[in-house]
Amino acid sequence: MTPPKFESIAPSAARLTESLRDIGYDFPAAVADLVDNSVSAGAEHVDILIEFSGPESYVLIADDGVGMSESLLTEALRYGTRRDYEQGELGRYGLGLKTASLSQCRAVTVATRTSIKVPRLYVRTLDLDVISESDQWVVSKPGREGLPQRALAYLTEGTGTVIVWEKLDRVLPERRPEGGWARRRLEAMAKRTTEHLGMVFHRFLEGTGGGRRLVITVNGEKVESWNPFAPGEPARTELPSQRFEVTIGGLSGTVRLNRYVLPAKEHFSAPEQFEYMSGPLKWNRQQGLYIYRADRLVQWGGWSGIRAIDEHTKLARASLDFDTDLDGAFNINVAKVRVTVPVQLRQMLERPINELCSRADEAYRKTARSTDKGTSGPSLPRQTAWRGPESPEAAAMKDAALALRAAAMQAGEYAAFLRIVEVLEKEAPAVAQDLGLGT
């Protein structure tokens, strides 16, 4: 008899489930990954409860999506769910439900209902302590008794899914999980989660993503969308949008770029609005590319290696959209919070981004200058709107000037560049004008 050619090396459930807890989620990102699932399941409402109750505290994420059959539910709890995806679906790895949940807690229970008519629930629990003890990939079937009362309330009317996180070891402090500090910690997480969801799902909340409007609540409060491009601000400038056809490693698709210069503080409709639009990371670090995958924001702030963050360009923000057919090219990570802009695309983006930054810098400087001169009251925003088609020669001159400006910034010699422009404006105003450098 010939000896068998293969030996089974099934992973150790106990070891692997523990190590997969640390693949890059924080609390808000973990909740967002579950909201992705709700969106894919066609949900219109997602309610999140972060309930403080000492060591029994729990987090609940309930949606009114299509729910899962019993076999789908079991499959859903497998690391590496076996299934196919349609284009534009937010899921990709078959991992999120497990890895996101267990990055924050030791036990996740899923209750689901697929039929509007029949109030039948399927419930399964994935518990790290059970897996650890048995070293087996198993789920338990607790029945509805295993669920907090509030979870059941969500599934009395129609279809949907409720996820419950218990044994919140990564959320509650080890010492005194019943104390005031633990409570405040949970409250702070609820706040951060609200901000995070308002940003990453803003298109869904506004009804411009995914083909329907989504309503999310956190502890009963509606999550408001936070649109990084301040669409309601009249003094905002929008540059022409661009499309790039890219083919990278056998994958082809379209990437869209939309560019905006946000108004400087005195041109915002209200100072509070300016504060609000500064965003979670504040103006400087919120400048840059906002990368959307199938309408869901997956990366924000900074220029993805195209240029550095700079105080002068803090009013520049741009959206970059790709669809799931380019996932491989963008290297989306499991936690869906990081992508890599492919080198080929980065090169294509350089010019339009530098143009945007140059305009943002202009807007910033104008304000700084008028403030320096002590102008009383807000001056009118200088119209920086796109001026329409130019002759190729004029466009080439402006491009050259733009490249010079960008190079000066990159070389850290921007102040010197501005002094040169000032002299040029005095000595040869027509040339400065032709180069688009005049004020």
Positions that interact with Mg ion (CB under 5 A): 37, 91, 96
Looking at residue 10, the DSSP 8-state letter turns out to be P
Rule CB under 6 A: say whether 95 interacts with ligand ATP.
yes
CB closer to Mg ion, 96 vs 160: 96
171-200 per-residue burial string, b: 16 or more CB within 10 A, e: under 16: bbeeeebeeeebbebbeebbebbbbbbbbb
Nearer to ligand ATP among residue 140 and residue 384 (C-beta)? 140
Residue 98 makes contact with ligand ATP by CB under 6 A: yes
Nearer to ligand ATP, 65 or 352 (CB): 65
Q: Minimum distance between the CB of residue 81 and Mg ion, rounded to whole angstroms?
A: 8
**Under a CB-based contact definition with an 8 Å cutoff, are residues 149 and 166 in contact?**
no
Contact between 343 and 330 under an 8 Å Cβ cutoff? The reply is no
Give the span between the Cα atoms of 341 and 97, in whole angstroms.
26
C-alpha to C-alpha distance for 148 and 296, rounded to whole angstroms: 31
With a CB cutoff of 8 Å and minimum separation 6, the contacts of 353 are 259, 289, 303, 306, 307, 318
CA distance 309 to 132: 45
Q: Which is nearer to ligand ATP, 99 or 225 (CB)?
A: 99
Q: Which of 45, 92, 346, 398 binds ligand ATP (CB under 6 A)?
A: 92
Residue 414 contacts by C-beta under 8 Å, 6 or more apart in sequence?
312, 408
* CA neighbor of 335 nearest in space, from 22, 24, 78: 24
Q: Does 116 sit near ligand ATP (CB under 6 A)? A: no
Asked whether position 102 contacts ligand ATP by CB under 6 A, the answer is no
Q: In angstroms, what is the minimal distance from the CB of 305 to ligand ATP?
A: 25
With binding defined as CB under 6 A, does residue 210 bind ligand ATP?
no
Report the nearest approach of ligand ATP to the CB of residue 115 (Å): 14
Nearer to ligand ATP, 2 or 71 (CB): 71
Q: Which does 76 bind (CB under 5 to 8 A by kind): ligand ATP, Mg ion, none?
A: ligand ATP
| Residues 33-72, mask of contacts with ligand ATP (x by CB under 6 A) | x---xx--x---------------------x-x--x----
CA-CA distance, 6 to 103, in Å (whole number)? 34
Kindly list the strands in the beta sheet with 160-166, ordered across the sheet, starting from the edge strand earlier in the chain. Answer: 122-127, 107-113, 160-166, 58-63, 45-51, 215-218, 221-222
**For ligand ATP, the closer CB: 127 or 233:** 127
Contacted by 65, from ligand ATP, Mg ion, none: CB < 5 to 8 Å by type:
ligand ATP
Q: What are phi and psi of 348, to 5 degrees?
A: -65, -30
Nearer to ligand ATP, 46 or 182 (CB): 46
Q: Which stretch binds ligand ATP (CB under 6 A): 31-39, 49-57, 124-132, 192-200?
A: 31-39
Residue of 91, 210, 253, 352 that binds ligand ATP (CB under 6 A): 91
Binding site for ligand ATP (CB under 6 A): 33, 37-38, 41, 63, 65, 68, 76, 81, 83, 91-98, 161
